[in-house]
Amino acid sequence: MSSVLSGLCRSLRSRSHQALIVSRPAPRAGTLGFSPGKGVVRIGSTGGLSRLVRHEAAGVVHLHFSGWPRPWLLGLEKALAPSGARLVVTFQDFDHPELPRGTAAQRAGLRRLLRRAHAVTAVSDFLRDRVEAGLPELRGNVRVVPNGVGLPAPQSGFRPPTRRPYILSVGRLAPYKGTDLLLMAYSQMKDPGADLVLCGAPFHGSHTAGLIAALRLGGRVHLTGLQPPARVAALLQGCLFYAAAPRAETFGMAVVEAMAAGKAVLAARVGAIPEHLRHGREGLLAAPKDVDGLRRGLERLSRDGALRRRLGAGARRAARRFSWDRVADQYLGVYREALGRAWKA
């Protein structure tokens, strides 16, 4: 989320718009959060947000959330009422099948908030359809605006955890991200000529390390932990190709970042991924939860350099539509429409 908001705000400011990021007081353990500095304000209460909106004379408050909004955010419409600021709500996720379902109170609070929203967006067609199925009152009123991608320069001097060629996967080491499926597929490769590097925060403590040991992959699979964007960019630059096997995916930021880096991608055909990635054009797609299909894709990309180069070039071209300039233009259109609508009491 931090990379999304930072990228959007940078692009808005480059167009001479004022933009502030409002974040919770401190990031959770296992997240990078925002770097302190100009343009980031940390607030943890509805009253604090209301005072900030009035002080800045904000025209639009744009709420991005994943999972369920925090309790204080559910009172957002009351905080905005004195200022007349328009509310835009963006779904980064909703009703994730691998995560806890929202309580009745959370769902009711979200519906109250959405009734006050002047515009609602989702980051993929897949997610829009899920939102409209779960919240039928929004049907036909959710616009799709994808997340943008802007890779930083790779960190100079950063060394990958192995000197051998490697396959890279980035993301939380969690069941819903399919880390176990990828490890099982990798363990079944015939004569693997590359190591596997997993970059991300652990989800269940030593679960991933235990699976690596059980599959006898010690020395071939490397865990980097959570890394800052410049190091992720360096890992992308050095990898043979990118692999991901999620069980569910509402956008697929890491996949799109790999595409933007010009890397061939092997991924599961789930959620929003097929919206970005065409089989045989920008990467290879395996059926959901298909360990053998993933294994075949790993083997094919590992041994065929010409295929990697062709798919990587296609991936880079396809990722251009996720430039922050294009995404910011789409959001500016949403903001203008919201500002043209009457305040919702």
Q: Per-residue confidence of the chain (345 residues) as pLDDT tens digits?
A: 788 999 999 999 999 999 999 887 765 554 544 444 468 888 877 788 888 888 888 899 999 988 777 776 777 777 777 778 899 999 999 988 767 777 888 888 889 889 989 999 999 999 999 999 999 999 999 999 999 999 899 999 999 999 999 999 999 998 899 999 999 999 999 988 999 999 999 877 668 999 999 999 989 999 999 999 999 999 999 999 999 999 999 999 999 999 999 999 999 999 999 999 999 999 999 999 999 999 999 999 999 999 999 999 999 999 999 999 999 999 999 999 999 876 555
Range of the domain at 278: 166-321
40: domain CATH number is: 3.40.50.2000
Q: Is residue 68 part of a domain?
A: yes
Handedness of CA 283, 262, 163, 201 (dihedral sign): negative
Place of tokens 């007349």: 84
Q: Which of 224, 233, 290 is nearest to 263 (CA)?
A: 233
Both 194 and 307 in one domain: the answer is yes
In the three-class reduction of DSSP (H, G, I as helix; E, B as strand; rest coil), residue 223 is classed as strand
Do 79 and 48 contact (CB within 8 A), yes or no?
no
Do 173 and 179 contact (CB within 8 A), yes or no?
yes
What domain count does the chain have? 2
How would you class 78 by CB atoms within 10 Å of its CB: exposed for 0-12, middle for 13-18, buried for 19 or more?
middle
Q: Is residue 344 part of a domain?
A: no
Instruction: Please list, in sequence order, all residues whose beta carbon lies within 8 angstroms of the beta carbon of residue 90, skipping any fewer than 6 positions away.
Output: 62, 63, 64, 65, 120, 121, 122, 123, 145
Both 191 and 310 in one domain: the answer is yes
Do 178 and 291 contact (CB within 8 A), yes or no?
no
